[in-house]
Structure 1
Amino acid sequence: MAKFCSNCGAKLDVGAGFCTQCGTKVINLEGNQATNQQTNQQPNQVVYQPPNPIDESKEGHIEIRNFVGENDNIIELDEKGPFKVIQYEKDLSVTPNEAEEKYFSTKMNVRPRQLIADLSKTSGIYLQARAMQWMSGANKLSTGVNGIGDFGKKFLKAAATRESVAKPEYSGDGFVVTEQTYKHLLLLDLNEWDNSITIDDGLFLAAEKSVGLSVQRMSDISSTFAATNLYYTTLNGDGYVCLESNFPMEELIVIEITNDTVTIDGPLAIAWTSSLQFTGERSGKTIVDSILTEGLVNVFRGTGKILMAPLSFKPHAANLETMDKKIKF
């Protein structure tokens, strides 16, 4: 005679001690009758219970598909600390009108790139305003502005360096992904820059919260006639930063100075160790000599490093910001 589970009604195997469907223990009463272990149920009563009830106490999780590691069109260019730079090899969703432009852009290494920040690897990061595209997890977001007085200070810094007034701060255990850009994303370890680096305006994209941001004034007021700016952004501390540059790292020249002097004609230096003395000076001993030679030049003295662009102007680099606004992915 066939036996059935008194809990879910499933057919029981001969000699079974438990129901294979719901796990209820089988107890033999009066020879062949199977009943539930619970004493308050009738022998032939069928009570339905889900075989896998939902555990409401279980923490949530997120699975991201067809992204880094699963998409052959996305490659990892660099990774330092909590930051990872990715690049899209091709635009796979172009219109016929865009196909020619996108094809030759890819051939010339004009590709969209993004920065990914893993917040579980750091106490937090801050980004340039409106740089975030999406994020995962229950991350915390703040403006980094503490009152009206702090806003005023940040406003003056922003006016001097052309950076955003408020730089959103993110913390948590999820991911933050920035907007796509055609510029090149450079990851730097401040430990390799004597824990302080001065950068050209508009280069800052992201940094760990352990890195402080301030404004540095050039050593000499006459420097403003040689350089493009009188004030520059300085990043201090122990951590990693990301710069958004018109030039790739493979094209930039690294100059290391030890108690010496480097003279550069034009605004080719995009970043340098903050301890270097940076001034603008005449290239000759007299005004006439300067006029007949290089005019005013940028001079770096001391010990440190300089990150220098090999070219002062590139048509495609000058148009990258315009392309970011024109071409939407």
Structure 2
Amino acid sequence: MAFVINNLKDNSNVAIADQLGGFTVLEYISDLSCTSVAAAEANYYMSKSNMRRKQLMIEINNSEIMMKAGAMQYTVGSMEMTTGVKGVGGLMRNLVSGAVTGTSAIKPLYKGTGTIMLEPTYSYIWLIDVDNDHIAIEDGLFLACETTLDISVVARSNLSSAALGGEGLFNLSARGKGVLALQAPIPSEEAVVIELQNDVLKVDGNFALMWSNTLQFTVEKSGKTKMGSAASGEGLVNVYRGTGTVWLAPL
């Protein structure tokens, strides 16, 4: 079996924004499907603000990927899709993990040889080479990954503090070696990357998009006393302590 996809990568209106392994981020330079003046005006200002539609293309060759449920637009080639759920016990574990992390309970697996196109999005798509690392991911960012990665749920070290800090009590984590695709609110080149060596990062708000799972997360008062916290106007802050890396959205 063989196939050719025409007018996609070879389309002059499509740019390759990023590529890692079999994962390719396609970006549409202009929206050529405007059917009204209002849509054309909106498209003009969106393009000036770097708001362009993007699509993730995943090409697999006798391999397997996991994907966010409902993200697939179409597939071409010889592959099979499974839920990756084994029995009622597996379904219940997925339902629980989906509920606590804010992601879909069932994440489809695509195995075989072919091309998978995901739905267009105006969000930014990050391709991350997880190289024998273990990283935690902010709720709702997961898009797809190679199944060589172990995707699991990690709990906060202090659950009551996590609730106070505006962060989820649980997060997805990716461990091992493989490509991870995230759907983020900012372009990757805008992320502030902070590397800690037995040090402390305090963040006022949930601006952290990813962080090393080696870091301890707590929520603490910004001042030493309640009065001091109130006077500073900050109150509680998210604290990442130890050795590892944190990726922050600056805005």
TM-score for the superposition, normalised by structure 1: 0.74
> Where has structure 1 moved over 3 Å in runs of 4 or more?
none
Conserved 8 A contact 1:270-1:309: yes
Aligned equivalent of 1:319: none
Counterpart pick for 2:123 among 180, 183, 198: 183
Establish whether residue 108 from structure 1 lines up as the match of residue 49 from structure 2. yes
Percent of residue pairs identical: 40
Q: Distance in 1 between matches of 2:22 and 2:244?
A: 26
Q: Residues 167-186 of structure 1, C-alpha deviation per residue, up to 9 Å, x if partnerless?
A: 00011111111000000000
Counterpart pick for 1:258 among 173, 178, 197: 197
Where 1:138 maps in the other structure, the secondary structure is strand
Aligned equivalent of 1:298: 238
Where 1:160 maps in the other structure, the secondary structure is helix
Q: Residues 46-96 of structure 1, C-alpha deviation per residue, up to 9 Å, x if partnerless?
A: xxxxxxxxxxxxxx321211110x111000011112211110000111111
What is the deviation of 1:107? 1.0
Establish whether residue 66 from structure 1 lines up as the match of residue 7 from structure 2. yes
Conserved 8 A contact 2:146-2:178: yes
Counterpart pick for 1:127 among 34, 46, 67: 67
Aligned equivalent of 2:151: 213
What is the deviation of 1:228? 2.5
Counterpart pick for 2:172 among 218, 233, 254: 233
Q: Residues 104-133 of structure 1, C-alpha deviation per residue, up to 9 Å, x if partnerless?
A: 11111111101111111x721010001010
Aligned equivalent of 1:146: 86
What is the deviation of 1:244? 0.1
Q: Distance in 1 between matches of 2:79 and 2:45?
A: 39
Query: Which letter maps to 2:196?
Result: I
Q: Distance in 2 between matches of 1:92 and 1:285?
A: 57
Where 2:88 maps in the other structure, the secondary structure is helix
The unaligned stretches of length 5 or more in structure 2 are: none
Conserved 8 A contact 2:63-2:113: no
TM-score for the superposition, normalised by structure 2: 0.96
Establish whether residue 274 from structure 1 lines up as the match of residue 183 from structure 2. no
Conserved 8 A contact 2:83-2:107: yes
* Structure (1 or 2) with the larger CA radius of gyration: 1
Q: Distance in 1 between matches of 2:249 and 2:98?
A: 24
Q: Distance in 2 between matches of 1:292 and 1:213?
A: 42
The unaligned stretches of length 5 or more in structure 1 are: 1-59, 312-329
Q: Distance in 2 between matches of 1:131 and 1:151?
A: 20
Establish whether residue 249 from structure 1 lines up as the match of residue 188 from structure 2. yes
Which structure carries more strand by proportion? Answer: 2
RMSD: 1.1
Aligned equivalent of 2:39: 98
Q: Greater RCO between the two (CA within 8 Å, min separation 6)? A: 2
Conserved 8 A contact 1:139-1:170: yes
Conserved 8 A contact 1:264-1:299: yes
Q: Distance in 2 between matches of 1:134 and 1:270?
A: 29
